[in-house]
Structure 1
Amino acid sequence: MTVRGPNLRLEGSTFGPRKISAWREAVAPFWDVEIRKEDSSEFRGRSDVYHLGNAIIGLTAASELRNERSRSLVARMGVDHVAAQIRLEGHATVEIAGREVPMAPGDISLLDLAQPLSLRSSGYRAMTVIIPRALFPEAGTRLGAAHGTVLRGATPYGMLVNNHLRSLAAHVPHFTPAEARAAGQATAILISGAAGLGVESAAERPLQRAPVFLAIRSHIDAEIASADLSVEQICRRFGVSRSGLYRLFAPLGGVAEYIRRRRLARACRDLVEGGDRAARISEIAYRYGYGSPAGFTTAFRAEFGLSPADVKAGARPDGASAVRRAPTDLPGGGWDDFYEWVLTLDA
């Protein structure tokens, strides 16, 4: 058996608003998409996605657009993955906290999906590889500080990574499952090497203590429903000061804001996945630290644009998963699976 595929494909002959709507729906778990009104009528896009078992590959072509991972989207998804994107055609600009780095064809950007970012693109073709942090050497502890770096395709190491990624794209449909996983591992090693090279970056390197940052994020997710979870408790457990903790989480709006959004995201998933057995809204409110259902409803509506009752009744915020398991019979599945692919991707 080979991977064949692509496992997922978005294409079609329609242009304009219908294509934009389909595009936004497909990538909602991953990107917030902005397209200029004057470009809407002629928008075109195509994406082929392959699942390697321990990595996800996307081959994309689209008109001019802006992809953004806002603080809200980062907290809502809560994934701990790294993306490497090579520009095959067209130019782009990586923007992080107001700092910008341009990309030309052949350049490779390294993006930490646990941090906010913006990516503005002209009409383009690109290949993106999404890899769980645990697959990298030393569990990817250097990659948080490499967020927003751009490896120039004309450099010797850039040429090496270019050749590898282009070869990966050419051969991925023919891999056996074992070969696909081996290719994912090899790609992680090459990308990790790029993170250690002093390449040009859009970030100010605020996360030099990346192992502590990652450990705290894991602790927050594990204790998200605990009444004891607080800034003070985290400082005591990890031996960091309040100011140091805030600096670590500054790209995400601060640690208190990150905890608030992770609790709302977990509450939303509980409502989505509960079905007829879902807990009462009041129970979920108290579970995630709200003093009253009314306060929970206000915060939930501000975050998702829907009330908890709406979600319990079947409405879905952008990026919220339906009840489903990660696909196991590849190739197959539909774009509904993409959310679960990203959430459950593991080494």
Structure 2
Amino acid sequence: MHFDSRSTSAREALDYWRGSLSQSWDMHLADDVDEAQFHADVTMWRMSELIVGSATFGPVQNRMRRERNIQSYQLDHYRLLLLRSGEFHLDAAGRQVSLAPGRFVITDMALPEESESACSTSVLYIPRDTLDAALPQPMRLHGLSPDNACSNLLSDHLAALLQGLPDAAPEELPALSAATVGLVAASLAPTAIDPLTTGVAIDGALLRRARRHIEEHLGECELAAAPLCKLLRVSRSTLYRLFEPLGGVSQYIKERRLARVHQILAQSSDRQPIARLAEDHGFKSAAHFSKAFRAQFGYSPREVPRAVELARLPAGGSGEERFDRWLGSLCH
């Protein structure tokens, strides 16, 4: 995917780009800058299960990933942002980070964040399970910004990767992805962690196990708090505490079911019976399902094909897709 604001006027490019990001982030320019100064040049590549790219933005813009954005696309991924030049300031749910060129920060896309930036960056999206499996122990990664030898190597690696990807053969991509994830994990592993590490690690492992179980049993009506407590061997209060940042157990299950149905409707060329999909994903009635679907995505289940089509660039373009559509394709 490639987006270059120079192909149109600055204000038209800003409107398009703001709309393209609207489901994943709320974005606006800083109050004291002129919209006519907006510029952006973004290139993204899908590399096996990763998305990697480069982005240059200006002038200063503010982005907020709120609960509404999190619920909309349900991205179970980490985002790594490496600063090449400019400035990038982040509030990752209370963890404050200001990057220097050559440093990176990782954020959890299941958690809120706010940033202020005008910069050139390398960006990497990694599935949660992929990175967690590469780490020697569970870690709270949201807002982590390591400074060590491996993180310095990662900067060079991403630059070389983006330069070489146009010439890479498809069969080479899995190995390139694995090497990249391994280097990210090596950069994070030696990072000093606060005294609450043990509790955070246990909670993280429990939450990952619960989320994996939910993902594998979305069609079961009995999927609820009680069987999860039994599976994890924890109390109901512990389970509720684990899921509190995600809106609660029941809310999380509902959101994941809706995201799965959205994926089915978006990817299928045949019109799916809405009532059957609702029943197959644990909803008691089609009416309840349709109401919940509209509340989460802003349109009805029957409007999914049209919404997917609208996510593409205007007619006459090169067939490239809006950034939100690319991010949406990361959903399980």
Alignment TM class, shorter chain as reference: 0.7 to 0.9
Paired residue secondary structure (2:227): helix
Query: Who is 1:316 aligned against?
Result: 307
Aligned positions, number: 319
CA distance in 2, matches of 1:121, 1:160: 26
Stretch of structure 1 that moved more, 237-246 or 91-100: 91-100
Query: Who is 1:214 aligned against?
Result: 208
Contact 1:133/1:140, CA 8 A, preserved across alignment? no
CA distance in 2, matches of 1:49, 1:99: 27
Stretch of structure 1 that moved more, 227-236 or 209-218: 209-218
Contact 2:28/2:63, CA 8 A, preserved across alignment? no
TM-score (norm 1): 0.77
Cα drift, residue 217 of structure 1 = 1.0
Which residue type is aligned with residue 47 of structure 1?
V
Contact 2:39/2:57, CA 8 A, preserved across alignment? yes
Query: Who is 1:116 aligned against?
Result: 111
After superposition, where does 1:244-263 map in structure 2 within 5 Å? 244-263=238-257
CA distance in 1, matches of 2:107, 2:241: 19
Deviations 1:184-217 (A, max 9, x none): 222211211222233589x999742333222211
CA distance in 2, matches of 1:227, 1:293: 14
Stretch of structure 1 that moved more, 188-197 or 128-137: 128-137
Equivalent position to 1:92, from 88, 91, 96:
88
Equivalent position to 1:235, from 229, 239, 245:
229
Task: Tell whether 2:54 aligns with 1:59.
Answer: yes
Deviations 1:147-190 (A, max 9, x none): 220124xx444323222223323333333334443332222112
Cα drift, residue 292 of structure 1 = 3.9
Are residues 143 and 132 of structure 1, via their aligned partners in 2, closer, same or farther at CA, if it must alter by over 3 Å? farther
Which residue type is aligned with residue 342 of structure 1?
L
Query: Who is 1:23 aligned against?
Result: 17
CA distance in 1, matches of 2:56, 2:97: 21
Contact 1:79/1:342, CA 8 A, preserved across alignment? yes
Cα drift, residue 62 of structure 1 = 1.1
CA distance in 1, matches of 2:46, 2:259: 25
CA distance in 2, matches of 1:205, 1:320: 43
Q: What percentage of aligned pairs have identical amino acids?
A: 25
| Unpaired segments ≥5 residues, structure 1 | 1-7, 322-331
Cα drift, residue 124 of structure 1 = 0.8
CA distance in 2, matches of 1:206, 1:123: 36
Paired residue secondary structure (2:243): helix
Cα drift, residue 140 of structure 1 = 4.4
Stretch of structure 1 that moved more, 122-131 or 155-164: 155-164
Cα drift, residue 246 of structure 1 = 2.2
Query: Who is 1:334 aligned against?
Result: 320
CA distance in 2, matches of 1:318, 1:277: 15
CA distance in 2, matches of 1:250, 1:76: 18
| Unpaired segments ≥5 residues, structure 2 | 313-317
Equivalent position to 1:177, from 155, 170, 179:
170
Cα drift, residue 119 of structure 1 = 4.1
CA distance in 2, matches of 1:160, 1:275: 44
Query: Who is 2:315 aligned against?
Result: none
Deviations 1:4-61 (A, max 9, x none): xxxx2111422444212332454457x3141137553432111111222242211001
Task: Tell whether 2:181 aligns with 1:188.
Answer: yes
Task: Tell whether 2:310 aligns with 1:278.
Answer: no
Are residues 319 and 333 of structure 1, via their aligned partners in 2, closer, same or farther at CA, if it must alter by over 3 Å? closer
Contact 1:58/1:128, CA 8 A, preserved across alignment? yes
Which residue type is aligned with residue 85 of structure 1?
L
Identify the structure with bigger relative contact order (alpha carbons < 8 Å, sequence gap 6+). Answer: 1
CA distance in 1, matches of 2:92, 2:199: 12
Are residues 269 and 138 of structure 1, via their aligned partners in 2, closer, same or farther at CA, if it must alter by over 3 Å? closer
Contact 2:44/2:51, CA 8 A, preserved across alignment? yes
Contact 1:68/1:119, CA 8 A, preserved across alignment? yes
CA distance in 2, matches of 1:261, 1:284: 15
After superposition, where does 1:38-57 map in structure 2 within 5 Å? 38=31, 39=33, 40-57=35-52
Paired residue secondary structure (1:229): coil
CA distance in 2, matches of 1:213, 1:320: 32
Contact 2:42/2:56, CA 8 A, preserved across alignment? yes
CA distance in 1, matches of 2:170, 2:308: 34
Paired residue secondary structure (2:307): coil
Contact 2:18/2:27, CA 8 A, preserved across alignment? no
- Give the aligned CA root-mean-square deviation in angstroms: 3.4
Are residues 156 and 317 of structure 1, via their aligned partners in 2, closer, same or farther at CA, if it must alter by over 3 Å? same
Are residues 105 and 226 of structure 1, via their aligned partners in 2, closer, same or farther at CA, if it must alter by over 3 Å? same
Are residues 53 and 319 of structure 1, via their aligned partners in 2, closer, same or farther at CA, if it must alter by over 3 Å? farther
